[in-house]
Chains A and B, each alone.
Chain A
Amino acid sequence: MRSLWHVAAHDLRQHLSERANIFFLFLMPLGFVFFFSLVNSGGGGSDVAVSLPVIDRDGDFLSEGFIAQLTAERFQSPVYTAAAAETTTFTARHVDIPEGFTARVLGTEPTDITLRATATSNTDYDLAAGVRLHLAQVRFLSNLWRWSSERGDPPLGPSLSPADVDAASRQRFLDLVAEPSRVTVTAENAGTGRPVPRGARQSIPGVLVMFVVMTVLIGGSESLTREKLQGTLRRLATTPLSARQVLLGKTLGLTLLGITQAAVLIVATEVLGRFGVAGTDFLWTPFLVGVLPVLLAYCFCVAALGLLISGLLRTPQQAESLAWLFGLALSALGGSWWPLEIMPDGMRIVGQLLPTGWAMTGLHNVITYGQGLAGAVVPTVMLLLIGGLFWLVGSRTLRVT
């Protein structure tokens, strides 16, 4: 056993001592995390701000109050006058407040506020904007009712016009809008519904799963085929280690490489999260108990796949090329780049057969769905089974002797 660790530790040192590997292990994944976190910092969750430009054709105090209400609903709402809107091209959704809006509301006449989505706007965000717009409308009306009640005379009705409202009363309405809402509406999934993992909770585990598979497959298969060619693998089998023990030592070394890669990413993203860098506040620490078995099993599984690839190919160049191809395909199909939930049914089934798919499922179970250790059990067992299968085939194809 001690000799196995000796072989594994030697291999890990070899990998870490190569300059190219340091770039791949430490710098490149951190760049990806930073990039993905930045990209995803505006997406997902219930608290993100949605862009909603407003064309204010009314320009009176109730349209001003409505716009303030939108801001309170976490819309980012730059305001355009009717004239400015004529020269502006809206790339996403926007709201159009009609002329005479204040007068019509005060006179209790029907009026329309229009939410316009464009062909290029994000449908998810359009949907979220519609819901929040309704919330803003409800709160606007409740504030209007409070304001009207406080005023007492004159009440809202056909006789009231903007000219009847003095400056103090106008300001009072805006103050009411600025007060914290007394009713909060929270949207949650009920029953068997599962939200699509998104934001940092998708991108950070995704980057981790991708870089573990890339690092282990590329580094591992390249070094193993090189050892096969230069005869050191065969020489190892002349020592008291058996051929199977040699392969176990090599697998252990690759597993340690994967664990190192995962640890680097976990520590780095934890730091980013704690300091709120790149718009992410995602932290690993609450999920570590559930995440660790999934990651350990995943690292073993990918190491065994590296062994298998090394057995199939003759030269380091061939192995490296195939490892790149495998790594990228496994990452994309397994849900590292985008959630499995948004993929077509056929692709999702394929993804769920892959180590990356099971790793992402396990991580999402723990992180996004809060299932703790229980959510990690099935993915961990599946990863160990797939890894075991890879190892059995790999140990027959990679001939030490």
Chain B
Amino acid sequence: MLQVQNLTKTFGEIRAVDGVSFGVEAGRIFGLLGPNGAGKTTTIAMIAGLIPPASGSVHVDGLDLAARPADVKRRLGVVPQEIALYEDLTARENLDFWGGIYGLRGKALAARRDALLDLVGLADRAREPVRNYSGGMKRRLNLALGLVHKPTLILLDEPTVGIDPQARINLLDVVRGLARDGAAVLYTTHYLEEAENLCDELAIMDHGTIHAQGTVESLKAELGEGSVLTLQGAFSREDVAAAVERSTGLRALELDDGRALLNVPRGRAGVGAALEAIYTSGLHLTDVTVKEPNLEDLFLKLTGRELRD
């Protein structure tokens, strides 16, 4: 459904997006995971036709965005990060307006509007001005507006920012439903849990480039089998590297002065042996944690920093 090839965007000296390529199939949710400033929104803006790329291409349903922007945009449902609504209008009036832009009229528009109001749970408040809504309700309407014309590719740019946990769960359920109904979904987020639980495929993005992509399982597999051991203390990276070299099965994922991320073979024996090796190496430790690998660890391994930095 969506094919992005070598997409690049520069703002002066800054390369906001640098050679990004990925694809999203119909019925699948593809996540772009990265911190603020990673280039996710710029990537979405280029796919949505809001800003032209410096190079690269975007194809939707086989159509080149550069050559046929109107045809491509007709297939897109864009849900922007900001809540872009007419606050003086009601939810119904907002949906009517945005539906009208896509040529929906009369009964078809009314049916679609009512279905969407049911979908996002706003049917009972549909005749109220949007300015009276809570943040979560506005987010839900923001989503509904992007779906009014039944798009085949849905671009969701951090749609859960600033809403309460229950509203987030509801919204994610709606997104899953859209994919089940056959839409291709491109979803950006900086929430690991969201990406892990929602997305069929993920790309980990930072500083404008994609560092890794694949299914959640395949990405986790890059951390290797077993557990992740995190060490903190007064040591140098060379000290840890030497300790890792002396041990059996221990593998360095990320090494830094005072902090190290190590892969430990699965099983109790593996962890015990690893701890013993570190202990005997004489490293001065202040904190040691052992946990199952997650995307945060992968992000740290790939980018050298935490997602929430």
A residues neighboring B (CB under 8 Å): 2-3, 6-7, 10, 14, 17-18, 230-232, 234-242, 401
B residues neighboring A (CB under 8 Å): 45, 48-51, 69-71, 73-74, 76, 78, 80, 82-89, 97-98, 100-103, 145
Q: Which residues of chain A come closer than 8 Å to B51, judged between CB atoms?
A: 401
Taken together as a complex, chains A and B put the C-alpha atoms of A3 and B102 apart, in Å, by: 8
Taken together as a complex, chains A and B put the C-alpha atoms of A239 and B102 apart, in Å, by: 7
* Cross-interface CB contact of B76 among A2, A238, A401, cutoff 8 Å: A238
> A230-B85, A231-B80, A231-B82 in contact; A237/B49 too (CB < 8 A)?
yes
The answer to whether A236 and B82 touch across the interface, beta carbons within 8 angstroms, is no
The answer to whether A238 and B83 touch across the interface, beta carbons within 8 angstroms, is no
Count of inter-chain pairs, beta carbons less than 8 A: 61
> A239-B73, A240-B73, A401-B51 in contact; A234/B84 too (CB < 8 A)?
yes
Which 8 A-B pairs have CB atoms at the shortest separation, nearest pair first? A231-B84, A238-B78, A231-B82, A235-B84, A401-B50, A240-B70, A238-B48, A6-B100
> A10-B97, A238-B73, A238-B78 in contact; A3/B103 too (CB < 8 A)?
yes
Q: Which residues of chain A come closer than 8 Å to B82, judged between CB atoms?
A: 230-231
Distance in Å from the Cβ of A124 to the closest Cβ of chain B? 50
Taken together as a complex, chains A and B put the C-alpha atoms of A10 and B88 apart, in Å, by: 12
Q: Whose C-beta in chain B lies nearest to the C-beta of A233?
A: B84
The answer to whether B69 and A232 touch across the interface, beta carbons within 8 angstroms, is no
Known: A7-B101, A238-B50, A239-B101. 8 other contacts (CB 8 A): A10-B97, A231-B82, A232-B85, A238-B49, A238-B78, A239-B73, A240-B71, A240-B74
Distance in Å from the Cβ of B49 to the closest Cβ of chain A? 7
The answer to whether B101 and A231 touch across the interface, beta carbons within 8 angstroms, is no
Q: Which residues of chain A come closer than 8 Å to B49, judged between CB atoms?
A: 237-238
* Cross-interface CB contact of A241 among B80, B87, B101, cutoff 8 Å: B101
Taken together as a complex, chains A and B put the C-alpha atoms of A145 and B78 apart, in Å, by: 94
Q: Which residues of chain B come closer than 8 Å to A236, judged between CB atoms?
A: 101
The answer to whether B76 and A242 touch across the interface, beta carbons within 8 angstroms, is no
A sample of 25 cross-chain residue pairs with beta-carbon separation below 8 angstroms, ordered by A number, consists of A2-B103, A3-B101, A6-B101, A7-B101, A14-B89, A230-B82, A230-B84, A231-B80, A231-B84, A234-B50, A234-B80, A234-B84, A238-B48, A238-B76, A238-B80, A239-B73, A239-B101, A240-B69, A240-B70, A240-B71, A240-B73, A240-B74, A240-B101, A242-B69, A401-B50
Q: Which residues of chain B come closer than 8 Å to A241, judged between CB atoms?
A: 101
Distance in Å from the Cβ of A2 to the closest Cβ of chain B? 7
The answer to whether A235 and B100 touch across the interface, beta carbons within 8 angstroms, is no
Q: Whose C-beta in chain B lies nearest to the C-beta of A237?
A: B50
The answer to whether A17 and B102 touch across the interface, beta carbons within 8 angstroms, is no
Q: Which residues of chain B come closer than 8 Å to A238, judged between CB atoms?
A: 48-50, 73, 76, 78, 80
Q: Whose C-beta in chain A lies nearest to the C-beta of B88?
A: A14
Taken together as a complex, chains A and B put the C-alpha atoms of A231 and B138 apart, in Å, by: 13
